[in-house]
């Protein structure tokens, strides 16, 4: 059992260093007198309970999951990406998209307005639903969505530094389709049933190639630790060394997050949002964002494996947040590319998607594994 002070000391030892908010701000400076605003973190340093809470918030594992690159960053990425998806699709299809709610900024606050509407909408549980599961599963999705953040590091901010971080992250992300299938079962309706079957079949078609593509990069760098993988990419990013693996991982992400042209489980023209059809209100708001949250996680993984992760110019005022910023920007640009496919693609049939996954992409995945084995054998990562 830790004492209060020991706990406080433990949090403070491993806290996030952001000079922007932990530095004193000097107001004026004369020969005899210095007046300054004390840093935000030391405001509560002497107050018994608040200092523990502040220290906990800035404790690295907690900060990683809750703020950056965790929940808060995810929400920050989510709102503009939903707006961007609707807006760019409208532009390409010669429409205007969301506009009326704030004309001056092009309807940017539309997702926020939608979310607010979800909050005040009635949550209806229909009579046939398996009520406890129907209401529980959407909230349970936060487990597989937030747990991978524990092992996805961002520079100095990480929760767990383990040599198996990439496999653990992929394994935890793979739990999300289970919840989606369970949601479809708990809804107990025709469309939800068809949707969850489609989700299961898509899961079957992309999961193997996603794992092979990620593992080929692990083979190439000879380590499954994300921190070491990013360190190896300080000069040449992984996409140059093994572009085939990058392509396979890219297409697997499209399939995994049901973006076009593989938007098969949620196909709104056919099965009307598939597994999520029976949800209303804020619970619908939660389940609708599952695919985007998964997209965010996989984009973090893509930028760590192929784009050099958090490598980028160091920004002194941000301190530990500087690598997080680079990782976030890379992931955000990737997300923009992924949602852009909605604009010009149609939708593949289920059997076509299955065939692509198990023939062409499987071939590419095995080729990428071969390339990685060859490059790993001559230890190219060590040469560069």
Partner 1 sequence: MAGVKKIKPPSPDFLETIKLHLDAFGVGLREAVKPSRMTVQYPRELRKRPKGFRGMLVFDISKCISCFQCAFVCPANAIHMKKAPNGKYYPCVDYAKCIFCHFCRDTCSKGAWKTTNFMDVAFRSVDEMLLTTEKLVNGPEIPEEEREDEYIVEYEVRGGKLVLKKEMSPDRIVEVED
343 lines the binding site for partner 1 (CB under 8 A): yes
105 lines the binding site for partner 1 (CB under 8 A): no
136 lines the binding site for partner 1 (CB under 8 A): no
- Token pair listed for 58: 């800035």
Pick the piece of the chain touching partner 1 (CB under 8 A) from 14-22, 87-95, 158-166, 224-232.
87-95
The sign of the torsion formed by the CA atoms of 289, 290, 291, 294 equals positive
Say if strands 25-29 and 34-37 run parallel, antiparallel, or are unpaired.
antiparallel
91 lines the binding site for partner 1 (CB under 8 A): yes
Pick the piece of the chain touching partner 1 (CB under 8 A) from 19-27, 130-138, 304-312, 336-344.
336-344
Choose which of 142, 185, 193, 345 interacts with partner 1 (CB under 8 A).
Answer: 345
Does residue 280 come out as left (phi exceeding 0), alpha (psi in the -120 to 50 range) or beta?
beta
The minimum distance between CB 250 and partner 1, in angstroms, equals 12
Choose which of 36, 96, 119, 314 interacts with partner 1 (CB under 8 A).
Answer: 96
CA gap 187, 133 in Å, rounded: 9
Going from the C-alpha of 198 to that of each of 99, 143, 189, 226, the distances in angstroms are: 34, 23, 14, 32
Pick the piece of the chain touching partner 1 (CB under 8 A) from 69-77, 125-133, 265-273, 337-345.
337-345
The minimum distance between CB 263 and partner 1, in angstroms, equals 15
CA gap 9, 3 in Å, rounded: 10
Going from the C-alpha of 140 to that of each of 87, 179, 212, 265, the distances in angstroms are: 31, 8, 28, 20
The minimum distance between CB 90 and partner 1, in angstroms, equals 8
94 lines the binding site for partner 1 (CB under 8 A): yes
* Comparison of 261 and 319: residue with beta carbon closer to partner 1: 261
Strand partners, 29: 34
* Comparison of 95 and 126: residue with beta carbon closer to partner 1: 95
* Comparison of 94 and 120: residue with beta carbon closer to partner 1: 94
The minimum distance between CB 95 and partner 1, in angstroms, equals 6
The b-or-e profile of 75-94 (16+ CB within 10 A means b, else e) is eebbbebbbbbbbbbbeeee
Q: Which residues are at the interface with partner 1 (CB under 8 A)?
A: 88, 91-92, 94-96, 340, 343-345
């Amino acid at each position: 059992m830790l004492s209060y002070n020991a706990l406080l000391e433990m949090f403070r030892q491993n806290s996030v260093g952001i000079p922007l908010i932990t530095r004193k701000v000097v107001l004026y400076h004369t020969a005899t007198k210095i007046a300054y605003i004390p840093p935000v973190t030391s405001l509560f340093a002497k107050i018994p309970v608040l200092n523990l809470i502040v220290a906990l918030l800035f404790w690295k594992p907690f900060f990683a999951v809750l703020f950056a690159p965790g929940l808060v960053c995810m929400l920050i990425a989510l709102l503009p990406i939903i707006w961007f998806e609707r807006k760019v699709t409208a532009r390409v299809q010669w429409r205007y998209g969301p506009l009326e709610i704030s004309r001056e900024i092009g309807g940017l606050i539309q997702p926020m307005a939608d979310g607010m509407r979800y909050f005040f909408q009635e949550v209806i549980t229909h009579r046939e639903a398996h009520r406890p599961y129907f209401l529980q599963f959407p909230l349970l999705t936060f487990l597989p969505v937030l747990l991978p953040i524990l092992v996805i590091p961002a520079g100095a901010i990480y929760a767990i530094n383990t040599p198996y971080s990439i496999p653990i992250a992929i394994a935890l992300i793979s739990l999300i389709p289970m919840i989606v299938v369970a949601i479809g079962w708990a809804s107990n309706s025709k469309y939800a049933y068809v949707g969850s079957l489609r989700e299961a079949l898509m899961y079957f078609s992309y999961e193997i190639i996603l794992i092979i593509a990620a593992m080929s990069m692990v083979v190439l760098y000879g380590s499954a630790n994300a921190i070491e993988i990013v360190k190896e990419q300080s000069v040449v990013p992984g996409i140059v060394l093994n572009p085939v693996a990058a392509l396979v991982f890219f297409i697997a992400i499209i399939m995994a997050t049901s973006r076009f042209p593989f938007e098969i489980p949620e196909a709104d023209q056919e099965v009307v949002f598939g597994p999520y059809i029976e949800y209303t209100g804020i619970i619908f708001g939660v389940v609708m964002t599952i695919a985007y949250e998964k997209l965010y996680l996989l984009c973090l993984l893509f930028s760590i494996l192929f784009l050099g992760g958090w490598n980028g110019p160091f920004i002194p005022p941000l301190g530990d947040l500087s690598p997080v910023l680079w990782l976030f920007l890379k992931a955000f640009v990737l997300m923009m590319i992924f949602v852009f496919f909605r604009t010009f693609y149609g939708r593949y049939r289920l059997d076509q998607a299955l065939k692509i996954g198990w023939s062409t992409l499987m071939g590419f995945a095995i080729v990428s594994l071969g390339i990685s084995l060859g490059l790993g054998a001559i230890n190219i990562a060590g040469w560069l």
